[in-house]
Amino acid sequence: MGSVFRPAANFWASLTLLMMALAVAAFSLSVWLWPHSDDARRVNWAPAQPVPFSHQHHVSGLGIDCRYCHASVEVSSNAGMPPTYACMSCHSQIWTNAALLEPVRNSLKDDRPLVWRRVTDVPDYVYFDHSIHIAKGVGCSSCHGDVASMALTYKAKSLTMQFCLDCHRDPGPRLRPKDKIYDTSWTRDATTPAPELLLAAYGVPQRNLTDCSICHR
Amino acid sequence: MIRALAILSLCALSACSDMSEQPKQRSYSPLVGPAPTPTGVVTFLYREPTPPPLTLALVERGQQRFRIFCTPCHSELGNGQGMIVQRGFPEPPSYMSARLLKAPTRHFVDVIAQGHGAMYSYAARVPPADRWAIAAYIRALQKSQNASAEDLAAARAEAAP
Instruction: Look at domain B56-159 and name its CATH class.
Output: mainly alpha
Residue that wins the pLDDT comparison between B68 and A96: B68
**Residue B34, preceding peptide bond in cis (omega within 30° of 0):** no
Mean pLDDT of A18-35: 91
pLDDT at residue B108 greater than cutoff 70? yes
pLDDT at residue B12 greater than cutoff 60? no
Residues B78, A11: Cα–Cα separation, whole Å: 85
Mean pLDDT of B125-147: 90
Interface test mutation site (partner B, options A89, A114, A116, max chain B beta carbons within 10 A): A89
**pTM here?**
0.89
Q: Which of B14, B22, B84 sits opposite A90 (nearest CB)?
A: B84
The pLDDT-based confidence of A20 (bands split at 50, 70, 90) is: very high
What ranges do the domains of chain A cover?
1-36, 55-81+116-215
How far A122 CA lies from chain B's nearest CA (Å)? 8
Q: Contact at 8 Å (CB) between B137 and B144?
A: no
Q: Which of B87, B120, B124 sits opposite A88 (nearest CB)?
A: B120
3-state helix, strand, coil in chain A (%, to 5): 45, 0, 55
A138 Cβ contact partners less than 8 Å away, ≥ 6 residues apart: A167, A171, A174, A175, A176, A181
Amino acid present at A87: C
Q: How far is CA B146 from CA B137, B140, B143, in A?
A: 14, 10, 5
**Ramachandran area for residue A128 (φ above 0: left; ψ -120 to 50: alpha; else beta):** beta
Q: Kindly provide the ipTM of the predicted complex, given to two decimals.
A: 0.81
The pLDDT-based confidence of A31 (bands split at 50, 70, 90) is: confident
Residues of A in contact with B32 (CB under 8 A): none
Mean pLDDT of B145-152: 77
Tell me, yes or no, if B120 comes closer than 8 A to chain A by beta carbon: yes
Give me the pLDDT at residue B22, please: 73
Q: How many residues does chain B have?
A: 161
Residue that wins the pLDDT comparison between B25 and B56: B56
Q: Tell the burial category of B37 from Cβ atoms under 10 Å away from its Cβ (0-12, 13-18, 19+).
A: exposed
Q: Contact at 8 Å (CB) between A134 and A181?
A: yes
Mean pLDDT of B30-38: 67
pLDDT at residue A74 greater than cutoff 90? yes
Helix axes B105-114, B128-145, angle to 10 degrees: 130
Q: Which residue of A has its CA nearest to B125?
A: A71
What ranges do the domains of chain B cover?
56-159
Cβ B118–A65 below 8 Å, yes or no? Answer: no
pLDDT at residue A163 greater than cutoff 80? yes
pLDDT tens sequence across A130-162: 999 999 999 999 999 999 999 999 999 989 999
Interface test mutation site (partner B, options A117, A124, A134, max chain B beta carbons within 10 A): A124
